[in-house]
Amino acid sequence: MATPTPSNENETRKASVDAHASQDDGAESTLEARKLQLEQPEFEVPDGGFQAWSTVAGAWLVLFATFGFAFTFGVYEDYYVRIYLNEHSPSSIAWIGSFQLMMPFFCGPVAGRIFDNGGFHQLQIAGGLVFTISSFLLSLAKPNKYYQIFLAQAVGMGLGIGLVFLPSLSIVVHHFKRRRGLASGIIMSGTSVGATVLPIMLNHLLPRVGFAKAVRYSSIIIPPCIVVGNLLMRTRLPPRSKRGGNQAPPDIKSFFRDAAYMSATLGMVFGLFGLYFSVIYLQLYSVQHNVDPNLAFYSLAILNASGAVVRIIGNWLADLYGPFNAMFSMSVATGALIWGVLGINSGASLVVISILYGATSSSWLALTFPAFTSLAKGPEEVGARVGIALFLCSFAVLGSAPIQGALLTDQYHWIRPIAFSATMTFASAVCFIVTRTILLRRWKKGGWKA
């Protein structure tokens, strides 16, 4: 075997050095590429434009036809207790409404994860189909067949709302930043308008055409709203798998170490134990306290109509003065107005309480979304943050109406559920003040906006 000459050795060493240099350059290039990948430009939010506002219009239609339908349960509660499920107690009947209202919150983590991963329209289509089919199945339920009504109205319709609710609100983070509260308030006003129109329809149809046809006629408006809504809505943030930079999912454990987030979530839990009292029981209370039945039937419509306007104004004010300041104010006002239900003894008092309660409670619900999105570090974790909070709050929604019904009993001791509901709402106000204080200390800035 030949011995290498000095010239060959030098060439070999040079080649080796060049190879190492090339490897070093490659390593530096890789590190630089990774650095550039991590330093992706921040997701730009247009804060308006045709596509943004058409998306708001589409989400408004979806919530009008779905979540607005859920808020008509006060009509069903009254009809079930007196006529259609009169063999069952008010507390057991209330489980139908509470389970249905729970599902939008309970489905939050799943819907939020799918939304963050780019499945917005899949959620909307699946939820719309489930809700529509279930609403027509409800019309087939027979008198005093509790399980049939529970499966169709509580489980089926509740699941449909659960799939569309969070995406319909979360989509605003793709299009708005400075006016995010205003946009979400407009979307939530769709719920109020739906909950105004549908109770009037049901109260007129039930005595005239019966339960089956009344449910079918009111359900006819659902499919067109969902189809048009989906055609109008657009997403802007790509699925997580197609985004540059860090594609790791949000750190869920960090949410539970965030004192402001946990305090706000506890405030929502307390508030939702009391907030739906008037939505479910106001019509029944009015009928039993000698208010003209025709006017009592309009109580939910009046309550929700006032909420349609105030939801928009309340969220606009939240953009100006801070969502948690607004949440505290609405919690105190709502708790006081729950006590005010005891003063209803005439048509005039019913109208006043319905208008004021509809304004404050609707604002409270609409403000929860901008409040929790303000705690997110970026649009990529909005679905997760809001979804986890809604899931934890779902158990309060599930238990609120049955607890209130059990406190009411068959002898109708109204003071008991009213005291419980008002106390829970006042407790939520305390939690929101704590959240506000934590945020101001964290930001280390003067002023009071939070």
In this model, does residue 26 exceed pLDDT 60? no
Domain with 79 in it: what CATH number?
Answer: 1.20.1250.20
Are 269 and 391 spatial neighbours (Cβ–Cβ below 8 Å)?
no
- Is residue 307 one of the residues assigned to a domain? yes
Whether residue 10 is contained in a domain is answered as no
Q: Give every CB contact of residue 424 below 8 A, 6+ residues apart in sequence.
A: 270, 271, 273, 274
Q: What is the mean pLDDT of residues 274-284?
A: 83
Residue 119 pLDDT more than 70? yes
- pLDDT band (50, 70, 90) for residue 247: low
**Each residue's pLDDT tens digit, 54-110:** 999 999 999 999 988 887 887 888 889 888 998 888 778 888 888 888 888 888 888
**Is residue 1 in some structural domain?**
no
Number of domains in the chain: 1
* 9 within a domain of the structure (yes/no): no
Instruction: Indicate if the pLDDT at residue 376 is higher than 90.
Output: no
- Does residue 151 register a pLDDT over 90? yes
Domain that includes residue 188, residue range = 45-237+252-443
Q: Is residue 11 part of a domain?
A: no
The mean pLDDT of the chain is: 81
360 assigned to some structural domain: yes
pLDDT for 232: 94
pLDDT tens across 309-353, in order?
777 777 777 777 788 888 999 999 999 999 998 888 888 888 999
Asked if residue 40 is part of any domain, the answer here is: no
23: in domain: no
Going by pLDDT thresholds of 50, 70 and 90, the confidence category of residue 244 is low
